[in-house]
Structure 1
């Protein structure tokens, strides 16, 4: 399982220009079963985060590079992998 943070970057003011493409990109990630959750980071003006699974790091990083927000430097990405060893039963599909 991965946590991808999309931290606002140099072209943050252009987010509105790429928002529809970003939303379509997110939808594709959910439709393809890779994204579990996505949303805005709680701290104001920080960016967003995505919880992903059913992928490997290289594939996820390639997918993230396709996000218009990443391609246009609206955000920069930080990816962390979590090897879940204990999960709530509702998350049993993660294989912990």
Structure 2
């Protein structure tokens, strides 16, 4: 599993101008089965995406994010080997 941590490099007004395209990109990630969950960080300084699959596919998807393409956010992608979960989240295990 991968955790993609996004950190905004621009004011939130600039983020908002690219939000619709970013949300469409997220939907594509869910539709392909790469993305499992996503949300804003609190306070609103970026976001996090939980992803599954092959590292190359996750990297390729991240490169296509409008936030990445347009210089809105920096990305850090961390791989995590999930070994235990709460009931109902077993599919997260590696």
Please classify the TM superposition score into its range, dividing by the shorter chain length.
0.7 to 0.9
Counterpart check, 1:18 vs 2:18 = yes
Count of residue pairs the alignment pairs up = 94
Q: How far 1:11 moved relative to its partner?
A: 7.0
Q: Which residue is equivalent to 1:7?
A: 7
List, as ranges, runs of 4+ consecutive aligned residues in structure 1 with deviation greater than 4 Å.
Answer: 10-13
CA distance in structure 2 between the aligned counterparts of 1:11 and 1:26, rounded to whole angstroms: 21
Q: Could you tell me which runs of 5 or more consecutive residues in structure 2 were left unpaired when the two chains were aligned.
A: none
Structure 1 pair 11–73 and aligned structure 2 pair: CA distance change class (3 A): farther
Q: Give 1:13 shift.
A: 4.5
Kindly indicate whether residue 59 of structure 2 is the aligned counterpart of residue 86 of structure 1.
Answer: no
Gaps of 5+ in 1: none
Give CA-to-partner distance per residue, 1:29-84, whole Å, 9 cap, x none: 11111111110012x2310000111x122210110110101111100100111101
TM-score by length of 1: 0.86
User: What is the TM-score with the length of structure 2 in the denominator?
Assistant: 0.87
* Aligned partners of 1:12 and 1:73 also within 8 Å: no
